[in-house]
Structure 1
Amino acid sequence: MDYKRKLKRLAVAIAAAFLMVAIPITVSANRYYGGDYSKYQTNLYNNTGKDSFAIDQIGGDVNGYIYNDWTYSRHAQQARNNGWRFHTYIWDQTGSNSWETQRMLNYFLPRLQQPKGAIVALDYEAGASWSVEGNTDAILVGMRQIKNAGYTPMLYSYRPYLMAHVDVNRVLAEFPNSIWVAGYQSGLSVWPNFGYFPSMNGVSIWQYSDYGGQQDLNVDLTGITNNGYTNHSSGSYVAPKVQNPVTPKVTNPATNDNGTYVVQRGDSWWAIANKYGLNMYSLSSLNGKSINATIYPGQVLKVKTTASQNQPTATNSTTWRDSLGDTWHHEKGTFTSNTWINLRWGARQSSSRIAILGPGSVIHYDAWSNHGGYIWVRQPRANGQYGYLVVRNSTNHEPFGWFK
């Protein structure tokens, strides 16, 4: 895979030294071979001379930032030209955030270029939270959404990472034989050496080599890469029904019902803010401090604004001031962007970015503010949080002039 390729390759190689086992593996009568691809490979390659499938990255989500892989459509067409079965994987760095996992899939599922039934794999190898339960919950939410959209869900990673951060048994209980695992053999042979197979249950695809860091090689052990192509040989695509995000389950034991957090050993302003979808500046401001202030274990911090801070100061009032002194006006509406825009955790250009919203994004807002030379709108999000984005320069008198 691509995002932390060198780091993962080192980790997998080290793990392989301890996992060289010759074990019996239940496989289909035929084994199928293929590569997985991303922007790092311009073209598809028939590495074994018998390749029959390709699994390509469509893009991914890194802590709320969604990106597209520009080679996806090119590779899809090349696979069709080769007569190969084409499948998709998504870089999933959403940790234990189920809401963000669903938002990611809401974006990518309508953009797939493969038949129903084909594989959509979550590439989960970075960004896991401290909570194994929370990580597993988010993965299962994603795999269910993939299944409900009519595709075959799979989970990709390397064995040590899965064992450390995911309850694999829970995943396999609901999605048997859904693991796509990396475990690299030594040498440059294009054929798998099963003496290096990472011993674990539920594996359908083994990524057995990165061929010197240039190309990942895979073997399908169960025939799962035929999914979507046995009964859907035309490769026609029907847009799936997209689910609405759900509020993720909060699993942090340091969180209290009154919207406060008890500082733990090793915490920082940034780490705490990141857990609750804030930025460290708004978190410190919420607590009447600066980010240079020292925090210590056992200290109680506010992580959620009170009703009086989020709402108008008077009953039936349509305007109010927030903790930064900005005046906000209640106004609900929806518009569709015609350009790329930043969605941020605060109404400041310096606020941390949640995501980049692409052209065609439908944005619902419930309030607006005119400050800093810009018109900002507020987008309600999960857990009582909000996202903020600029819709126009305040000197432009046409409402929402940057959008359709």
Structure 2
Amino acid sequence: MQKMKMIKRGAASVAIALLLLPFTGTAHAATVKHYGVDWSKYQGNNGKWGYDRDDFSISQIGGYYNGSFIDQATYGTQVANTIALNKRAHTYIYAQFSGTAQADQMLDYYLPKVQTPKGSIVALDVESGSPDLASVEYALKRVQDAGYTAVLYGYKGFLVNHLGTAGLQEIAGQYPLWLAEYPSMSITTEPNYNYFPSFDNVQIFQFTSTYVAGGLDGNVDFTGITENGYKNGNAQKPVTNTQATTTGKQLHQDTHNYTVKSGDTLSAIASRYGMTVNALVALNGIQNANLIYPGQVLRVADSGAGSTVTKKATTPITSTGTQAYTVRYGDTLSGIASRYGTSTSTLASINGISNPNWIYPGQVLTVSGGSSTRAYTVRAGDTLSGIASRLGTSWTSLKAKNGISNANLIYPGQKLYY
């Protein structure tokens, strides 16, 4: 979450802690616990995972600070990347507010921007400011009425101090709680129930802010609430589709499993499947590009030498007026802009992109321009200068038109426009 706190408390047995976990709403008793993570902008455009078992993320859409808004530019791509990895995506709002007027201002702004499906979690992160019981209940009801699973996140001590024990109990009788409490700042991979913040209707326990080295919030879902919003908990079957979930599903469908063999390197695998190393790292949530191992299963693109997908013949792409362009692996905004005869700033403005360095495969951009553009698919052994000579252009023109920063780095399957 936005703030890292360590709260100590007396021991509570595992048995007692688990007995204090009634559930309400649409969540159902889980046969196994779900582990997952929550992200803000600090986890980057594609998020950060702890372990292979993690099957959900909860991303911050933005923050509200008593009248001020701070959007999280990473939100949409984090949601899409989660779905692409066949994991379930949810949402939270950092909510520092007081009074129903501020609750309305916050939710009028953020609810229309939610990119996770109806039924999914939209949590209010209430951990600062001076919240009051009436406005917190009002805000949770608005989230619920909008069709989402309304959840209250926070630290038990803070919530009790501001809402009162009876007030928090009243909320817990209507809405699930997601409570945080950490025994230490040491790396913690499993919940320590001696530090469980016992209360009614705690459905998600954030048990550490140091899930892995370097810091990451680790969470456990006891009841299956993180399956909400997805048919039978299937990440590829959201109850409703959004731009981010559609992008994520497309990325997932356009990839397949590859099992790492002895001697493989990430760069070689990426080249084989027409991907950049960065795209392969992002798609698989890899923390260290130098650490892969035989038997590891990676998602790779359905292109390149290892694919059974039939490639389409290269055909000219004509841009006349305004049209849609789907971002491919290796694309840059500057390269796309050059291809369509416009500027990076114009393309960013048309598509509401706040950071021109953050676009992702499958993203649909509105483009405009009047020139005809043809595409060439890079083959093994190609060089940029050789391609340029073959196409009757210069390598510098190809480099500029395709937003290539290093002329020596092109890969099989990459499309070059000229």
Give the TM-score band, short-chain normalised: 0.5 to 0.7
| 2:203 paired residue number | 204
| 2:169 paired residue number | 169
Alpha-carbon offset, residue 235 of structure 1? 5.2
Paired residue secondary structure (1:174) = coil
Judge conservation of contact 2:17–2:196 (CA < 8 Å) in 1. no
Residue 99 (structure 1) aligned with residue 101 (structure 2): yes
More moved, 76-85 vs 193-202: 193-202
More moved, 230-239 vs 85-94: 230-239
Give the alignment's TM-score, normalised by structure 2: 0.51
Mapping of 1:262-277 within 5 angstroms? none
Q: Which amino acid aligns with 1:162?
A: L
Judge conservation of contact 1:19–1:197 (CA < 8 Å) in 2. no
| 2:240 paired residue number | 236
Mapping of 1:1-400 within 5 angstroms? 1-2=1-2, 5-6=3-4, 9=5, 13=6, 15-16=7-8, 18-22=9-13, 23-26=16-19, 28-42=30-44, 43-95=46-98, 97-129=99-131, 135-166=132-163, 167-175=167-175, 178-186=176-184, 187-211=186-210, 214-230=215-231, 233-234=237-238, 236-237=240-241
Q: Which amino acid aligns with 1:169?
A: Q
**Rounded Cα–Cα distance in structure 2 between residues aligned with 1:213 and 1:122:** 25
Judge conservation of contact 2:207–2:219 (CA < 8 Å) in 1. yes
Judge conservation of contact 1:116–1:238 (CA < 8 Å) in 2. no
Paired residue secondary structure (2:230) = coil
Paired residue secondary structure (1:51) = coil
**Rounded Cα–Cα distance in structure 2 between residues aligned with 1:70 and 1:125:** 22
| 2:392 paired residue number | none
Q: Which has the higher strand share?
A: 1
Alpha-carbon offset, residue 69 of structure 1? 0.5
Paired residue secondary structure (1:195) = helix
Alpha-carbon offset, residue 238 of structure 1? 7.0
Alpha-carbon offset, residue 33 of structure 1? 0.4
Judge conservation of contact 1:114–1:235 (CA < 8 Å) in 2. no
**CA 1:213–1:127 in 2, change beyond 3 Å: closer, same or farther?**
farther
**Rounded Cα–Cα distance in structure 2 between residues aligned with 1:19 and 1:183:** 12
Alpha-carbon offset, residue 185 of structure 1? 2.6
Unaligned 5+ segments in structure 1 are 130-134, 240-337, 341-404
Judge conservation of contact 2:17–2:193 (CA < 8 Å) in 1. no
**CA 1:234–1:154 in 2, change beyond 3 Å: closer, same or farther?**
closer
Alpha-carbon offset, residue 46 of structure 1? 3.0
Alpha-carbon offset, residue 128 of structure 1? 1.3
For residues 293-345 of structure 1, give each alpha carbon's deviation from its aligned partner in whole angstroms, at most 9, with x where no partner exists.
xxxxxxxxxxxxxxxxxxxxxxxxxxxxxxxxxxxxxxxxxxxxx9x9xxxxx
Q: Which amino acid aligns with 2:180?
A: A
Judge conservation of contact 1:34–1:54 (CA < 8 Å) in 2. yes
Alpha-carbon offset, residue 183 of structure 1? 0.5
**Rounded Cα–Cα distance in structure 1 between residues aligned with 2:160 and 2:194:** 20
**Rounded Cα–Cα distance in structure 2 between residues aligned with 1:213 and 1:78:** 21
Where relative contact order (Cα < 8 A, 6+ residues apart) is larger, the structure is: 2
**Rounded Cα–Cα distance in structure 2 between residues aligned with 1:101 and 1:206:** 25
Q: Which has the higher helix share?
A: 2
**Rounded Cα–Cα distance in structure 1 between residues aligned with 2:43 and 2:206:** 16
Q: Which amino acid aligns with 1:19?
A: G
Alpha-carbon offset, residue 195 of structure 1? 1.8
More moved, 160-169 vs 183-192: 183-192
**CA 1:105–1:118 in 2, change beyond 3 Å: closer, same or farther?**
same
Q: Which amino acid aligns with 1:140?
A: E
* Aligned residues between the structures: 224
Paired residue secondary structure (1:139) = helix
**CA 1:160–1:105 in 2, change beyond 3 Å: closer, same or farther?**
same
Give the alignment's TM-score, normalised by structure 1: 0.52
